[in-house]
Amino acid sequence: MPHMMQMTMKNDSSVSEFFLMGLTDQPELQLPLFILFLVNYTVTVMGNLSLMNLICLNSNLHTPMYFFIFNLSFIDFCYSLVFTPKMLMSFVLEKNTISFRGCMTQLFFFCLFVNSESYLLTAMAYDRYVAICQPLLYKVVMSPKLCCLLIFGTYSMGLISALFHTSFMIRLRFCDSNIINHYMCDIFPLLRLYCSNTYVNELVSSVVVGIAIILCCLIIFISYALILFNIIHMSSGKGWSKALGTCGSHIITVCLFYGSGLLAYVKPSSAETVGQGKFFSVFYTFLVPMLNPLIYSLRNKDVKLAVKKTWKRLTS
């Protein structure tokens, strides 16, 4: 299989490596940006690893909700590994290049994790719906078997999407231009290097991505519409507060992820908006993975209690 892929790459593409333009071409910004993104990467890795360890070590966090949060942290951790080290190197190296195979590998894992996160957030919305609308049946409905099936479906859909986009890109024939106006190998910047008219290719990619986003957003919207309907009919203010507190972190995460993603991709393909797209891409590729563990720990009483217990265990 690897040999076949290698042959496909050699036969269908005249480009052996790409030059990544990066986030900016201004020399005076390279060092400050290197420090900024190094701090971001450190916080992202430490935050997600800490939250994963916390969930593993504390039995009170062994619930369906934290099972999904564990997987969210795992995806964000892997997600940051895909492009952050390469981007940090671009700030200190004179020549920021990536091989054709390396570019396709980066694209594959980027698509895998970003799509998996999209489907995971959808599964988490369903989990919140069951927790608030069917609290007495929560443990029965959200059984370990169903949770594992949802996670399996999440990664499977991410894998299918990644295979589709990567195999689609490998079959394209790129022209002599090998300059990618981005800091990573993303779908639309790569399509701009295609020899023929890219309208059909961009349309196919947009339709595939659009269907996935619309499907996920529709399920999330229906889940929260039912949750809102249930909250309105709650008689006690305590019930309102608990329900909103349970959903608050997830709503913030969904808004950050889909909001920044839409700003980065739903735009006209002009030279001016390419720069804007790179700017908005920073939000969901760097800020979202860093903020997710903070959102789920700072706003969560169970996590705060688990931190105290773990700290006592370590210091005693």
Q: Report yes or no: 141 and 207 within 8 Å, Cβ to Cβ.
A: no
- More confident call, 129 vs 277: 129
Euclidean distance between CA atoms 254 and 101, whole angstroms: 32
Q: Which residue has the tokens 């006209």?
A: 268
Tokens coding 54 = 């916390």
Q: Residues 6 or more apart from 174 whose CB is under 8 A from it?
A: 13, 14, 15, 193, 194, 195
Work out whether strand 17-20 and strand 179-180 pair parallel, antiparallel, or are unpaired. Answer: parallel
The pLDDT of residue 10 is 44
What is the pLDDT averaged over residues 220-241?
Answer: 79
Give the residue, 230 or 204, on which the prediction is more confident.
Answer: 230
Q: Is the pLDDT of residue 274 over 70?
A: no
185 Ramachandran zone, left/alpha/beta (phi>0; psi -120 to 50):
beta
Residue 237's pLDDT band, with cuts at 50, 70 and 90, is low
Q: What is the pLDDT of residue 13?
A: 52
Between these two residues, 140 and 239, which has the higher pLDDT value?
A: 140
Residues 170 and 144: their CA atoms lie apart, in Å, by 39
Distance (Å) of CA 161 to CA 157, 167, 301: 6, 10, 36
Judge whether residue 130 has pLDDT over 60.
Answer: yes
